[in-house]
Amino acid sequence: MPNNTSWTGHTSDRAPLLGVSSGAALAAALLGMFVITLDALVVTVALPAIRNDLGGGMSGLQWVVDSYTLMFAALLLSAGALSDRVGARRAYGVGLAVFVAASAVCGLAPSLGTLIAARLVQGAGAAVMLPASLALIRESYADPVKRARAIALWAVGGAVAAAAGPVAGGALNLISWRMIFFINLPAGIIALALLARTARSPRQRVPLDITGQATAVLAMGALTYGAIEAGAVGFTAPKVWAAGLVTVVALAIFLVAQARGRHPMVPLDLLRSRTVVVSSCAGFAFMTGFYGMVFLFSLYLQQLRGLSSLATGLVFLPMTVLTPFLNPLSARIAERFGPRLPIASGLFMMAAGLTILAFAPASTPTWLLAVLMLPVGLGGPLAMPPATALLINSVPAERTGTASGVFNTSRQLGGALAVAVFGALVADQATFSQGLHASLLIAALVLLLAAVASLLLESAPIPQPETAAPNQHRVNAPTQSAYATKQTG
C-alpha cells in the first residue's frame, strides 16, 4: 500500500487488538469465503432453468454469470486499500451486508434485468469482503504459525465451495433456481452475528485511486459487453465497435492515471517484473480454461444431452473434489523442485485435457466425459498455489497487496472473458457443438501459451514454511488473500 500508517499514527503491522475473538473472526471470514466462491460456480448449472423462467437469450445468460465476476474483478484492485482505510471489520460487515441483500434480490428477481443488476451488486460486495476477511484473520492471530493455520482453514471454505458448487447448484435447482441465492442468507446472517463478537479494526491513511478504479471498471465492462454482444449481433455491429472504442479510451486514461497519479493502485513499474506478469498470465489462463469449461459443459450437458441439473453437477464432482487434496502436494513439489515445474506441468495438463475434450466424439458416454475432465481438475491445483507463492515472494513487502490485487483481477477477468467469448461462439443452437469445440481449443491455446511463458520463471525452490515464517508477519492481508484464493482454484 502507498501508506501504511494508521489514523493513530501506528503502522499497520501492529499486534492484534486485545479482546478480539479469534475463533469468531476466523469463522466469519471462512463463511464469507465459502459464499464468495460458491456464487462464482453455483449459478452456471442453473442457467437453463433461469432462461426458462425469466427468458432472454445466450447474451442474457452470459451477463448473469459475468455481472458478478466482472464487478468482483474490477473492484478487487482497490478493495484492499478501502479495507485498510475504513477498517477491516467495518469493510467486511458492509460488504457482507451488501452481498446478502443482493442475494435476496437475486432470489426474488422478477426479471432478467433485475437479476443481472443484483448480481453486479453481489460482485461489489464480494470484492470488499475478500481482502477484509484476511485482514480480520491477520488482526486476530499475532503468531505467524497460528495465523498460517488459520488462513489454511479459511482457504478450506473456498475449496469446499469450489467442490460443492456445481452439485449444490444442481440439487437446489431441482427445487427452484432461486434457492441457489437464498442459501446465502443464513450463512451471511451467521457471519454477521460472529462479526459482532470481534473488536473494531484499526484504520489506515490509505489514499484511493478514484480515476484508476473508475476507468478500470469502464474498460473491463466495455470489453466484456463488446464480446457478449458480438455473439448476438455480430462483430461488425456499431455497438460492438463502440464498446471497443470505449475500452481503448478507458484503458488509455487508466494507464495515464497509473503513470502520472500520486497514488496509483497499479504502479506500472510493477509490471516490469517478469514474475508478476507471467504469474498473472497463468492465473488468467487457469480461469479461462476452468471457468470457461464449466460454463460450456453446464449448457451442453443440459441442452444437448438432456441431463438434469443435479446430474450435470455430479459430472463435475470428480474434477472439483480433488482440489483440497492436491494443493498441499503442489506446495511440496515447489519446495523441492522450484515453482517452474508444477506451474508449467499443471498448465500443460489443463491444455491437454481441454484438447482431448474438444476432439471427443458426440457419442462419448457422460461418465467418460467426467473422466476426461480430470486433467483440468488436476492441473489447476498443481499450478496455482506455487504461482501465487512465487508472486508473493518476488515483490517487496509493501507491494504485495498491490501485486495480489493485479493477480486476482487477472484471474477474474480471465473467467469473465471466457464466458463472454465462448458464449458468443455457442450462441447459435444449430452450431453449438462446433462452437463448443472451438471454445475448448481457444482455452487450450491460452493455457499452452501461459505454460510456455511459465518456463521463463525461476527454478529455485520456494522456501520452506520454517524459513519463511520470520518474515510472514510482513505479508499484509491482500497478499494472503491472493495466496489462499489461488489455493481454492
pLDDT of 205 reads: 66
Q: Which of 457, 439, 458 is nearest to 447 (CA)?
A: 439
How would DSSP label each residue in 462-486? PPPHHHHGGGGGGS-HHHHHHHHHH
Phi, psi dihedral angles at 6 (to 5 degrees): -85, 170
Mean pLDDT, the chain, integer: 78
Collapsed DSSP state (helix, strand, coil) of residue 184: helix
Find which of 25-34, 66-75, 332-341, 441-450 is predicted with most confidence, using mean pLDDT: 441-450
What is the average per-residue pLDDT within 255-283? Answer: 81
What is the average per-residue pLDDT within 468-482? Answer: 36
Which residues on neighbouring strands pair with residue 6, listed in sequence order?
Answer: 204
Residue 473: pLDDT over 60: no
What is the average per-residue pLDDT within 290-311? Answer: 88
Residue 288: pLDDT over 70: yes
Instruction: Say how far apart CA 478 and CA 12 lie, in whole Å.
Output: 13
Instruction: Say how far apart CA 165 and CA 171 lie, in whole Å.
Output: 10
Check the CA dihedral 459-464-470-472 and report its sign: positive
pLDDT of 437 reads: 92
Residue 481: pLDDT over 70: no
Residue 349: pLDDT over 90: yes
pLDDT of 29 reads: 78
Collapsed DSSP state (helix, strand, coil) of residue 6: strand
pLDDT of 18 reads: 38
pLDDT of 478 reads: 39
Residue 410: pLDDT over 90: no
Largest CA distance in the chain: 67
Of 86-100, 203-217, 456-470, the one with minimum mean pLDDT is: 456-470
30-64 pLDDT per residue, tens: 788 788 888 777 888 888 888 888 877 777 888 88
Across 295-329, b (16+ Cβ under 10 Å) vs e yields bbbbbbbbeeeebebbebbbbbbebbbbbbebbee
374-386 pLDDT per residue, tens: 999 888 888 887 8
pLDDT of 471 reads: 36
Query: Do 387 and 331 form a contact (C-beta atoms < 8 A)?
Result: no
What is the average per-residue pLDDT within 441-466? Answer: 77
Instruction: Say how far apart CA 38 and CA 40 lie, in whole Å.
Output: 5
